[in-house]
Amino acid sequence: MLKLNKTEWVPPSFILNGVPGLEDVHIWISFPFCSMYVVAMAGNCGLLYLIYCEDSLHKPMYYFLAMLSLTDLVICSSTVPKALSIFWFHLKEIGFDGCLIQMFFVHTFTGMESGVLMLMALDRYVAICYPLRYSTILTNPVIAKAGLSTFLRGVLLIIPFPFLIKRLPYCKGNVIPHTYCDHMSVAKLSCGNTKVNAIYGLIVALLIGGFDILCITISYTMILRAVVSLSSAEARRKAFSTCTAHICAIVFSYSPAFFSFFSHRFGGHTVPPSCHIIMANIYLLLPPTMNPVVYGVKTKQIRDCVSGILSGSKNTKSQSI
């Protein structure tokens, strides 16, 4: 039998090919990417500024919202600038180590976003089920420890990814059909055994996403029971209205994630690769874009703070005139 010799090498760099099959319309795809990035950066920076400056927003719910905004800013800034450089200037090359760094940041902070959404569900559970003990349970040290634990969980679970990628031999070229370095997209270029990568990636998804979804489900089950037991219809409406923005954030975050997860595993041949890549980018871009908008519209205290700042600036202008 003839044995084919495959040259095994570690590529010095990778080529990110953007959205496969849609190279001719990259410039048009870039417009929604750029618009969403601008909205996400402006909205999340605005939220962080508002939470920092307004004493009325120095509460557990808004501290968790600040964590979510910081996480969203990192996710956007880790992926979109490189994607836009591919679409606009055809700068597709990324160094091997740069690719691993991008992979680490993307996976760590998407995991952290899921964790923060879970913490926000627990915050709503305590606020509705134990309103009198809310401020004593969720103290500043507890919030800080919860945020740090969520971050460390992501770091410790994701840090093996770069090492799992580095150990692989590569012989299938260095072109990645994606806009950013995803763990399995890079692993697929290897001619070695990637079973460990696939199994560990699934375990991480279950430990982060599965655990967080379970906690969110339990929290909202308990919230629903507490709200239904309230005697007044107005009290039920007010209690549940405090959760509306958070429920929207969960939908925006997990819907693209579920579609991407299931289409990869069960629709590999029926769903075109371009659809996979676009959904993967929507998964990273939609939550950072929509979260500030949803919380700005649905949360009365944030609306009041924004109105106060705007009216104050108008009064200052009128006085100067």
- The predicted structure's pLDDT at residue 2: 37
Output the CA angle 303-242-232, nearest 5 degrees: 120
User: Quick one: pLDDT band at residue 264, thresholds 50, 70, 90?
Assistant: low
Sequence-separated contacts (24+) of 104-108 with Cβ below 8 Å: 104/158, 104/159, 104/161, 104/162, 105/74, 105/75, 105/78, 106/75, 106/78, 106/79, 106/180, 106/181, 106/182, 106/284, 107/154, 107/158, 107/161, 107/183, 107/204, 108/154, 108/155, 108/158
- The predicted structure's pLDDT at residue 242: 84
45 or 296: whose pLDDT is higher? 45
Report if residue 53 sits inside a domain. yes
Q: In this structure, are strands 175-176 and 13-16 parallel, antiparallel, or unpaired?
A: parallel
Identify the domain containing residue 151 by its residue range: 20-305
Report if residue 5 sits inside a domain. no
- The predicted structure's pLDDT at residue 4: 40
Domain count, the chain: 1
Report if residue 198 sits inside a domain. yes
Q: Is 13 helix (H, G, I), strand (E, B) or coil?
A: strand
Q: Average pLDDT in the 152-165 region?
A: 97
Compute the mean pLDDT over every residue in the chain, rounded to the nearest whole number.
90
Instruction: Give 92-104 pLDDT, tens digit per residue.
Output: 999 999 999 999 9
Q: Which amino acid appears at position 211 of this protein?
A: F
Instruction: Give 186-205 pLDDT, tens digit per residue.
Output: 999 999 899 999 999 999 99
Report pTM: 0.92
Question: Rounded to whole angstroms, how far apart are CA atoms 223 and 302?
Answer: 23
Report if residue 321 sits inside a domain. no
Report if residue 96 sits inside a domain. yes
Q: Answer for the pair 176, 186: CB distance below 8 angstroms, yes or no.
A: yes
Q: Which range among 36-45, 149-158, 167-176, 261-270 shows the weakest confidence by mean pLDDT?
A: 261-270
Q: Answer for the pair 170, 190: CB distance below 8 angstroms, yes or no.
A: yes
- The predicted structure's pLDDT at residue 94: 97
Count CB atoms within 10 A of the CB of residue 166.
Answer: 11
Q: Average pLDDT in the 113-125 region?
A: 97
Report if residue 314 sits inside a domain. no
Residue 184 has pLDDT above 60, yes or no: yes
Annotate 162-187 with DSSP letters as a single string: HHHHHTS-B-S-SEESSSS--HHHHH
Residue 244 has pLDDT above 60, yes or no: yes
Report if residue 4 sits inside a domain. no
44 or 257: whose pLDDT is higher? 44
Report if residue 284 sits inside a domain. yes
User: Quick one: pLDDT band at residue 110, thresholds 50, 70, 90?
Assistant: very high
Residue 257 has pLDDT above 80, yes or no: yes
216 or 241: whose pLDDT is higher? 216
Element (H, E) at 265: helix 244-266
Q: In the structure, how many helices (H) and strands (E) does the chain have?
A: 13, 3
Domain CATH for 183: 1.20.1070.10
Count CB atoms within 10 A of the CB of residue 270.
Answer: 8
